[in-house]
């Protein structure tokens, strides 16, 4: 499941901002699209010119610079892009219009997955990110209006929270079994011919199709050696999310034609049915459809037919009640705890104020994404666990007996108890959870230090929603 991508794209305000940017950048999008949603032939032939039009390119430039991002294989940074374009853009544009432009190889980056293994990213050079963004702004208005209402990933005005709420409603309607489909290495296994055939249903400009194919086939650079690619659309470029939705739109249409209720966010798809037998039948038939029609492989080990409260979707799970409540999935809780452990290990030589300053953005972002949870005891438990870890860190930083006794007395512990605690011979973990540290450094002390409380932040979200 693609929880990180969901969190990054999950806020409604960000989606609305994307929608405004798209409408500005593709000012002629409605003129290029017929009222019934079909592309006008004369407009389709000029898609590349529309993409390279000055206002669209300026909008794409602002998005690429605003997103920052690492340089590609050429080492050019976003800060160096403007002077480079001033010197070289006329030749690049001429090559694009002539169909002669060749994208650079993408830089291979591997990031660990929470459940094990690695996810491969392909980081395009900044020039190619600019061109892809410009194409994205023109192509999105052509494809998006025809996408399914049950598709929520990487679309303007749609987000992960809407998908999770829809899933809850389907379960409340009595569809208390879920077919959880996991597409094995989806972004690495996309068949180029199958994908481009679907792009070609809307895009008639041969130069755009040729350019997209070249981006799909651009080599992947690792250790100074570029290897050719015959399949896949690596994550990392602006076009990748749109292309994934174009390909999987066939899956959405198939599910709708069969009358199923489902939620899809990028390559995460959950189908909600009323019985286990029905779920097994749907799983088998949809697996056959994906493998034969779209040339995609379903991971049989990770896919399952199960109760919704036994699975997770976009980091959330739900309770077993007739009217289910959303809750934070155990895996999401474990991921946050591991992230905090790593941050605390790296911060052992820092002051408590510096450590809290580093933790707060992580905590704010996490609780903002999980603000839909209706089971709050997890937040309270996480708050207590984090404060205990911070008290343990304080005890470890004090080291000597005299320093520990002195700091406990400064925090209001009487002299006898302070010395008894300082000389108890127990380790930092035990003392971090002991009553003397809880009394010396209670919750309100951490509140004064401006540590974000997950429970308090969640209550604030609820009060304004």
Which residues touch 396 (CB under 8 Å, ≥6 apart)? 348, 428
Q: What's 230's DSSP letter?
A: S
Is it the case that residue 21 has pLDDT exceeding 90?
A: no
For residue 4, the model assigns a pLDDT of 52
Answer whether 283's CB lies under 8 Å from 321's CB: no
For residue 270, the model assigns a pLDDT of 97
Token pair for 64:
């690429």
CA distance 329 to 310: 9
Burial of 350: CB neighbours in 10 Å, binned 0-12, 13-18, 19+: middle
For residue 45, the model assigns a pLDDT of 55
Mean pLDDT over the full length of the chain: 88
For residue 243, the model assigns a pLDDT of 95
Which residues touch 34 (CB under 8 Å, ≥6 apart)? 40
Token pair for 288:
């056959």
CA distance 52 to 16: 24
Q: Give the rounded percent of residues in the chain with a pLDDT score beyond 90.
A: 77
pLDDT band at 202 (very low <50, low <70, confident <90, very high): very high
Mean pLDDT, rounded, for 182-202: 91
Q: How do residues 116-163 score in pLDDT, each as one tens digit? A: 677 788 899 999 999 999 999 999 999 999 999 999 999 999 999 999
Q: How do residues 312-356 score in pLDDT, each as one tens digit? A: 999 999 999 999 999 999 999 999 999 999 999 987 789 999 999
Q: Give the rounded percent of residues in the chain with a pLDDT score beyond 70.
A: 89
For residue 151, the model assigns a pLDDT of 97
Closest CA to 103 of 225, 262, 237, 231: 237
State in Å, rounded, how far the first CA of the chain is from the last one.
27
The β-bridge partners of 122 are: 108
Q: Lowest mean pLDDT: which of 107-111, 134-138, 329-333, 457-461?
A: 107-111
Mean pLDDT, rounded, for 233-259: 93
- Classified as helix, coil or strand, 403 is helix
- Classified as helix, coil or strand, 103 is coil
Does residue 286 or residue 37 have the better pLDDT? 286
Mean pLDDT, rounded, for 194-204: 95
CA distance 25 to 57: 8
Mean pLDDT, rounded, for 451-465: 92
Q: Quick one: which H or E segment has residue 109?
A: strand 106-112
Q: How do residues 379-409 score in pLDDT, each as one tens digit? A: 999 999 999 999 999 999 998 999 999 999 9
Does residue 109 or residue 306 have the better pLDDT? 306
CA distance 222 to 226: 6
Q: Lowest mean pLDDT: which of 21-35, 55-69, 294-308, 392-406?
A: 21-35
Is it the case that residue 196 has pLDDT exceeding 80?
A: yes
Answer whether 148's CB lies under 8 Å from 249's CB: yes
Q: Quick one: which H or E segment has residue 181?
A: strand 177-182
Q: How do residues 356-384 score in pLDDT, each as one tens digit? A: 999 999 999 999 999 999 999 999 999 99
Backbone angles phi, psi at 345, to 5 degrees: -65, -40
Neighbours of 403 (CB within 10 A): 12
């Amino acid at each position: 499941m693609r929880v990180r991508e969901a969190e990054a794209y999950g806020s409604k305000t960000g989606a609305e901002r994307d929608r405004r940017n798209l409408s500005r950048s593709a000012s002629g999008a409605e003129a290029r699209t017929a009222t019934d949603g079909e592309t006008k032939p004369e407009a389709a032939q000029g898609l590349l010119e529309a993409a390279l039009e000055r206002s669209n390119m300026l909008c794409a430039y602002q998005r690429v610079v605003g997103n920052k991002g690492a340089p590609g294989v050429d080492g050019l940074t976003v800060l160096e892009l403007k002077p480079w374009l001033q010197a070289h853009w006329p030749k690049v544009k001429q090559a694009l219009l002539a169909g002669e432009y060749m994208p650079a190889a993408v830089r291979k980056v591997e990031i660990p997955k929470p459940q094990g293994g690695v996810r491969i990213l392909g980081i395009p050079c900044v020039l190619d990110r600019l061109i892809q963004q410009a194409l994205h702004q023109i192509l999105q208005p052509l494809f998006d209006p025809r996408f399914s209402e049950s598709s929520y990933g990487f679309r303007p005005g749609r987000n992960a929270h809407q998908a999770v709420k829809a899933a809850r409603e389907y379960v409340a309607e009595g569809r208390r079994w879920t077919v959880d489909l996991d597409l094995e290495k989806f972004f690495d296994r996309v068949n180029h011919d199958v994908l481009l055939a679907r792009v070609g249903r809307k895009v008639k400009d041969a130069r755009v199709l040729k350019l997209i194919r070249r981006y799909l086939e651009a080599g992947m650079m690792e250790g100074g050696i570029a290897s050719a690619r015959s399949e896949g659309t690596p994550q990392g470029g602006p076009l990748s999310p749109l292309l994934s939705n174009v390909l999987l739109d066939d899956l959405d249409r198939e599910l709708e034609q069969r009358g199923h209720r489902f939620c899809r966010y990028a390559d995460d798809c959950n189908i909600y049915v009323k019985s286990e037998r029905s779920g097994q039948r749907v799983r088998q038939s949809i697996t056959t459809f994906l493998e034969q029609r779209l040339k995609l492989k379903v991971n049989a080990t990770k896919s399952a037919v199960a109760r919704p409260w036994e699975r997770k979707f976009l980091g959330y799970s739900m309770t077993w009640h007739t009217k289910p409540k959303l809750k934070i999935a155990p895996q999401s809780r474990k991921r946050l705890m591991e992230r905090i452990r790593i941050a605390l290990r790296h911060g052992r030589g820092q002051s408590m104020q510096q450590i809290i300053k580093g933790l707060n953005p992580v905590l704010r972002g996490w609780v903002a994404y999980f603000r839909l949870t209706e089971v709050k005891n997890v937040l309270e438990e996480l708050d207590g666990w984090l404060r205990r870890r911070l008290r343990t860190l304080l005890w470890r930083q004090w080291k000597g007996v005299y320093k520990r006794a002195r700091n406990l007395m400064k925090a209001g512990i009487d002299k006898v108890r302070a010395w008894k605690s300082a000389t108890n011979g127990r380790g930092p973990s035990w003392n971090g959870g002991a009553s003397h540290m809880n009394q010396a450094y209670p919750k309100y002390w951490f509140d004064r230090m401006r540590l974000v409380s997950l429970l308090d932040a969640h209550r604030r979200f609820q009060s304004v929603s």
